[in-house]
Structures are given as C-alpha cells and as structure tokens.
Amino acid sequence: MGLFDQISRTIAQSVDRARFEAEKFQKTTRLQSEVNELRRQIDSKLNELGQRAYELLRAGQIQSATLAELSTAVDQLRSALVVKEEELKQAQAEVYVEPPAPAPPPSQSVPIDYGPPPSSTPAVKHCGVCGFQMPGTAMFCPNCGTRVT
C-alpha cells in the first residue's frame, strides 16, 4: 500500500500545484488588466490636460516657452497630417487603367517578287524561326534578322 499512497500523494500535490498556478494566472491577468485600464485613463487625462493647455496657450491665457515649443511642434505635425491625409485621399481615389491592347503584328511589307529568280534560287523563302515570307534571294529575314540559306 505504500507505493499507492505515494502515487496518490504525488497526484494530489500535482493537482494542488496546477490549481495554484491556474489561480495565480487568473489573478495576474486580472491585475494586469486593471493596471492597463488605469494607464489608459491616465493617458486620456494627460491628453485632455495637454489639449486644454494647448488651447489656453493659443488663446494667450498662459505663457510658457516649453509649452510654446510643444505647441509649435503640434502645429507642424498637424500640417504634416493634413498633407498626408490629402495624399491618402488621392491614393484611395486612384483607379486602375487598362493598358491599351497590343497592336496586331505588322503585315508583311517586303515585296516578294523581284523578277524571275536564277534557276537555282527559289522564288520565295520562309524564315525557319518566325515563318516570315521573303524573296528567295534574301540572306537575312527582314522580320527577325535570322540568317537564312
């Protein structure tokens, strides 16, 4: 029975540790959430404070060199924001323009008949690369430039 008691005790300790860890996780998650909410509230209030100080500075009701610098920086950022918002609107308004359809291949403009060919030269040749029809006396294809024999 000693072995079973030891296994039972080990299992009970493992269950207790798992329960402790789960409760600890719940507690730390809840506390972290509360800390984050308090930080968000502080940031919100600091934002309100900054906005109010900016308005008072602009209205001439308070004087501070530091606040004046910050106010100028805010004005510059707002100007940059307006420019970027306009760029964004333009980018969002862009539409895709279909490219024009490719032009059909040019029709053959090389005359085929230059008079009677010598008896050993065929009247017409076809390029072995592009199939262009050319005079039998041609040494190069006028379409693709391949040497023909």
What pLDDT digit, counting tens, does each position of 108-135 carry?
665 555 555 556 656 788 888 988 888 8
Looking at residue 109, what is its pLDDT?
Answer: 61
**Predicted local confidence at residue 117, as pLDDT:** 54
Specify the pLDDT at position 138. Answer: 85
Q: Residue 102 has what pLDDT?
A: 83
Instruction: Tally helices (H) and strands (E) across the chain.
Output: 2, 2
What integer pLDDT is reported at residue 3 of this predicted model?
87
pLDDT per position as a tens digit, 46-84: 999 999 999 999 999 999 999 999 999 999 999 999 999
Predicted local distance difference test score (pLDDT) of residue 87: 95
96-123 burial, b if ≥16 CB within 10 A, otherwise e?
Answer: eeeeeeeeeeeeeeeeeeeeeeeeeeee
Map tokens 């906005």 to a residue.
51
The per-residue pLDDT for range 24-35, each reduced to its tens digit, is: 999 999 999 999
* Polymer length of the chain: 149
Indicate whether 95 pLDDT > 80. yes
Extents of the domains making up the chain: 2-93, 117-149
